[in-house]
Amino acid sequence: MSEVKRKGQAAKLASYSLVSISTEEKNEALALISEQLIIDQMSILTENQKDLEEGKGRGLSEAVLDRIMLNEKRIQDMAHAINLLIELKDPIGETIETIEKENGLFIKKSRVPIGVIGMIYEARPNVTIDAATLALKTGNAVVLRGSSSAKFSNMALVHSIHNALAKSKVPVDAVQLIEDTRRETAKELFQLNEYLDVLIPRGGKNLIETVVRESTVPVIETGAGNCHMYIDETADQSMAENIVLNAKLQRPSVCNAIEKIIIHEKWFEKHGKQLVEKLQENSVDIYGDETVTHEFKSISAASEEDWAIEYLGLTVAIKIVSTLYEAIQHINTYGTKHSEAIITSNEEHAAIFLNNVDAAAVYHNASTRFTDGFEFGYGAEIGISTQKLHARGPMGLHALTSSKFMIYGNGQVRS
Amino acid sequence: MSEVKRKGQAAKLASYSLVSISTEEKNEALALISEQLIIDQMSILTENQKDLEEGKGRGLSEAVLDRIMLNEKRIQDMAHAINLLIELKDPIGETIETIEKENGLFIKKSRVPIGVIGMIYEARPNVTIDAATLALKTGNAVVLRGSSSAKFSNMALVHSIHNALAKSKVPVDAVQLIEDTRRETAKELFQLNEYLDVLIPRGGKNLIETVVRESTVPVIETGAGNCHMYIDETADQSMAENIVLNAKLQRPSVCNAIEKIIIHEKWFEKHGKQLVEKLQENSVDIYGDETVTHEFKSISAASEEDWAIEYLGLTVAIKIVSTLYEAIQHINTYGTKHSEAIITSNEEHAAIFLNNVDAAAVYHNASTRFTDGFEFGYGAEIGISTQKLHARGPMGLHALTSSKFMIYGNGQVRS
């Protein structure tokens, strides 16, 4: 039996015992993991060093190396995040719905774990801890498959988790790491319907597209954000400037930062120059449609491709429209259904935009940067779903649960 | 542009206008469809006749021809079902959750349509009407792809729907039928991620497996039910017999009928003979494990394959166990996660069974035949989900909805 099959099966078996483990027992296990990470920090850092050296040898960029890098502070942050997770309410066992039938049948819809969650992710060892602890909090087993560039770090972290679980009521098998990081093992996970209930990719566009295309296991698509800010005719000038600068600059490399600005022609006539100057003062590269490039010789023309791309950096493209509907249509054509915003003083326009734009999160007069499980108050985030089934938008603990109908009778039969 | 792409795109565009259509307007459109089916019944029956003749020519079985066959009564039943659907509460626009942040942001999670639903199904023209009207009730556009054996009937039914929609506020394009029923068009639908938000197969095991394997569009898996009834040591004899006979015989061809009986050895010693006789009196073919075949020479041995199969007819396999845990383990190994039941007077055993058996619906002292959207009181059913994401068990109108975060601010930016 291959490593993937063997570990998938072990996780499945563990998931069956996890349904009988209490909230207290799960929290005890999490506390043990938090402590163990601190106890094991020297060995974790030693293993992390191997990844970093191998990465340097292979010429990985500074940005990627920074994502892989662990230090005492980062390990302490992980341990601290687990302590916060312990405080969160356990969603498992909640009654979602009850139905009493005339024949005396009592139907209860309860919240239960999903079962086994497959996580496939890129070179961020913190996802190993994140995914494992969020899964355990919600009574799920997890099969982790990280990147080869963080192989030694991931093995050390999972070793630490296993040490902790061995002292707890949670079976050690509940957390599995696929150590063989060749492409073949990812492909095997894509088809592991027998043991995986869901597969969640976390990483760049290519990873997510591959998983969606190749996986027969149900996938929760997370990630890509080609987010737009639409500045309507009646938008307050300073509010619009503030929000645009925040949504573009506060952290340009993340999925909820804006990539495009759509501006009503009348607002653009009055305030376009100042907005463009502010963006340029902040080193933002600007592409524009014909109206914009005609007005500003310093701005290059946006290509068709620009409207669809997620720059993830200090770049933005600006398009001028003559109606709200043109803005909505553009967003529904090129958006990735992540986060979209309108700035306007016209309440009716706001309502039309919020209703008609097809995205997980739609904003009136606020920055798209708020699309985040912690900002929404969920206390945890497994990712941001851009699909419409199961979970949409920031996914907290509830997104890692399923439901089950429990039906209590005293001999009822169907007639 | 191919028929599938063209119609997928038209449905997507229609879905954008559907979000602005009120409950009243949707119900008016449904009422018009209900009327139109009666108005058009002669032409629908004429077209249905063509399918039946073609089917006879191709040697389709009586059972399949009966599924394809329409008559005045069946058309009236369709029209009546639409009138009942109109009465159901519209889930769209419901507030699921509200969050007020200290910075003044107000976050509202609302229930919204999914967008475009792809339905792929076998030779039952009633699914055409069912799927189209459930989709419209929940503000979704739908792309229908039925079987070639019901081609003329489906075209006539959709023609009737279009006639009705033309008089309503709902765009005619909201309901699309793929008329080309060659295998290639199904394959094209599987990859139509640009326009479809979900694909729901309705039909036999092969259809469902093909869709799960080949579709990159998110799928809701429905259907297969290898359901078990476990008779525990302390089960009341007459209750057990009643429930088993109901769950096996009331409608043997459906997914929530039982296919396997697991019996505790002590109960089997005392009451096994009578149960077997009652099943045999009702013409049920029985396969058994070693204990059963040793006891009853008239019973053939069950093969490994028997434990996994869904007979969908007057056949059952019986297995004897010596503990509750053995029963649970067998069910979790061979079950299809549909409906599973325990008959017992031991409350603790019931709780362990209901918690540990991994299925959409788990029963204590009742027939598995109740797993049904109408029996659960949902007033509608698009299918029974056997997967764990999005919807599990009978899917009513809520299963055809998604959610959307609407965030209201007055200039908030993230710090």
Task: Find the closest chain B residue to A235 by CA distance.
Answer: B411
Partner-chain residue, chosen from A246, A332, A388, that has the shortest CB–CB distance to B414: A246
Q: B327 and B334 in contact (C-beta within 8 Å)?
A: no
Q: Are B155 and B122 found together in one domain?
A: yes
CB within 8 Å: A366 and B402: no
Using alpha carbons, list the distances in angstroms from residue A249 to A367, B75, B387: 11, 60, 41
Partner-chain residue, chosen from B247, B390, B409, that has the shortest CB–CB distance to A366: B409
Q: Are A143 and A268 found together in one domain?
A: no
Q: Are A105 and A195 found together in one domain?
A: yes
Asked whether the predicted pLDDT for residue B25 surpasses 80, the reply is: yes
CB within 8 Å: A219 and B218: yes
| The predicted structure's pLDDT at residue A119 | 96
| The predicted structure's pLDDT at residue A224 | 84
| The predicted structure's pLDDT at residue A164 | 98
In chain A, % of residues over pLDDT 70: 100
Give the max Cα distance, chain A: 81
Q: Are B244 and B196 found together in one domain?
A: no
The burial class, CB within 10 Å (0-12 / 13-18 / 19+), for B185 is middle
| The predicted structure's pLDDT at residue A250 | 94
Q: Are B270 and B361 found together in one domain?
A: yes
Taking the alpha carbons of A12, A14, A19, A24 in that order, is the dihedral positive or negative?
A: negative
Residue with the larger pLDDT of the pair B154 and B254: B154
Please count the other Cβ atoms lying within 10 Å of the Cβ belonging to residue A113.
26
CB within 8 Å: B16 and A358: yes
| pLDDT tens-digit series, residues B124-180 | 999 999 999 999 999 999 999 999 999 999 999 999 999 999 999 999 999 999 999
Tell me the chain A residues in contact with residue B413 when contact means C-beta distances shorter than 8 Å: 242-243, 246-247, 250, 366-367, 369
Q: How far apart are CA A355 and CA A308, in angstroms?
A: 22
Taking the alpha carbons of A78, A391, A336, A256 in that order, is the dihedral positive or negative?
A: negative
| pLDDT tens-digit series, residues B105-126 | 999 999 999 999 999 999 899 9
End-to-end CA distance of chain A: 48
The answer as to whether A376 is a domain residue is no
Q: Are A149 and A285 found together in one domain?
A: no
C-alpha torsion B244→B233→B360→B354, nearest 10: 150
The answer as to whether B413 is a domain residue is no
Report the pLDDT averaged over residues A267-280: 98
Asked whether the predicted pLDDT for residue A223 surpasses 80, the reply is: no
Instruction: Tally the domains of chain B.
Output: 2
Q: How many CA atoms lie within 13 A of B317 on its CB side?
A: 22
| The predicted structure's pLDDT at residue A205 | 82
The answer as to whether A378 is a domain residue is no
Report the pLDDT averaged over residues A203-228: 90
The region that residue B115 occupies, defined by phi over 0 for left and psi between -120 and 50 for alpha, beta otherwise, is left
CB within 8 Å: B408 and A365: yes
Burial B278-316 (b: 16+ CB within 10 A, else e): ebeeeebebbbbebbbeebeebeebeeebbebbbbebeb
Asked whether the predicted pLDDT for residue A306 surpasses 80, the reply is: yes
Q: Are A215 and A235 found together in one domain?
A: no
The answer as to whether B294 is a domain residue is yes
Q: Are A302 and A287 found together in one domain?
A: yes
Q: How far apart are CA B162 and CA B10, in angstroms?
A: 14
Q: Please provide the average confidence, as pLDDT, over all residues in chain A.
A: 96
CB within 8 Å: B243 and A411: yes
Q: How many CA atoms lie within 13 A of A278 on its CB side?
A: 16
Q: How confident is the model at residue A216 (pLDDT cuts 50, 70, 90)?
A: very high
| The predicted structure's pLDDT at residue B63 | 85
Report the pLDDT averaged over residues A273-287: 97
Q: Are B215 and B237 found together in one domain?
A: no
Asked whether the predicted pLDDT for residue B222 surpasses 90, the reply is: no
Q: Please provide the average confidence, as pLDDT, over all residues in chain B.
A: 96
| The predicted structure's pLDDT at residue B348 | 98
The answer as to whether B185 is a domain residue is yes
| The predicted structure's pLDDT at residue B154 | 98
Tell me the chain B residues in contact with residue A388 when contact means C-beta distances shorter than 8 Å: 114-115, 197-198, 218, 402
| Of B264, B256, B269, B308, the residue nearest B287 (C-alpha) | B308
Asked whether the predicted pLDDT for residue B223 surpasses 80, the reply is: no
Asked whether the predicted pLDDT for residue A206 surpasses 80, the reply is: yes
Please count the other Cβ atoms lying within 10 Å of the Cβ belonging to residue B385.
22
| The predicted structure's pLDDT at residue A32 | 98
Strands (E), B116-214: 116-121, 141-145, 175-177, 198-202
Q: Are A273 and A310 found together in one domain?
A: yes
Partner-chain residue, chosen from B105, B389, B409, that has the shortest CB–CB distance to A389: B389
The region that residue A180 occupies, defined by phi over 0 for left and psi between -120 and 50 for alpha, beta otherwise, is beta
Asked whether the predicted pLDDT for residue A203 surpasses 90, the reply is: no
| pLDDT tens-digit series, residues A322-353 | 999 999 999 999 999 999 999 999 999 999 99
Q: How confident is the model at residue B195 (pLDDT cuts 50, 70, 90)?
A: very high
| The predicted structure's pLDDT at residue A347 | 98
Q: What is the ipTM of this complex?
A: 0.93
| The predicted structure's pLDDT at residue A230 | 98
Task: Supply the range of the domain harboring residue A354.
Answer: 227-370
The answer as to whether A380 is a domain residue is no
Q: A85 and A134 in contact (C-beta within 8 Å)?
A: yes
Task: Tell me the sheet residues that pair with A222.
Answer: A385
Give the max Cα distance, chain B: 81
Q: Are B104 and B179 found together in one domain?
A: yes
Q: Are A179 and A326 found together in one domain?
A: no
Residue with the larger pLDDT of the pair B221 and B53: B53
Tell me the chain B residues in contact with residue A362 when contact means C-beta distances shorter than 8 Å: 404-407
Task: Find the closest chain B residue to A347 by CA distance.
Answer: B408
Q: How far apart are CA B317 and CA B315, in angstroms?
A: 7
Size of interface A-B (CB pairs under 8 A): 201
Tell me the chain B residues in contact with residue A114 when contact means C-beta distances shorter than 8 Å: 388-389
Q: What is the CATH number of the domain that holds A33?
A: 3.40.605.10
The answer as to whether B382 is a domain residue is no
In chain B, % of residues over pLDDT 90: 93
Identify the residue whose tokens are 């509202």: B108
| Of B147, B148, B144, B152, the residue nearest B176 (C-alpha) | B144
Q: Which tokens sit at B150? A: 């019901």
Residues 6+ apart with CB under 8 A from B170: B18, B21, B25, B26, B29, B136
Q: How far apart are CA B147 and CA B161, in angstroms?
A: 18
The answer as to whether A375 is a domain residue is no
Q: How far apart are CA A406 and CA A401, in angstroms?
A: 16
| pLDDT tens-digit series, residues A102-132 | 999 999 999 999 999 999 998 899 999 999 9
Asked whether the predicted pLDDT for residue B191 surpasses 80, the reply is: yes
Q: What is the CATH number of the domain that holds B325?
A: 3.40.309.10
Task: Find the closest chain B residue to A213 by CA distance.
Answer: B216
Q: Which tokens sit at B347? A: 């409350």
| The predicted structure's pLDDT at residue B272 | 97
| The predicted structure's pLDDT at residue A12 | 96
Cα-to-chain-centroid distance, residue B27: 23
| The predicted structure's pLDDT at residue A222 | 85
Task: Tell me the sheet residues that pair with A141.
Answer: A116
| Of B194, B196, B226, the residue nearest B211 (C-alpha) | B196
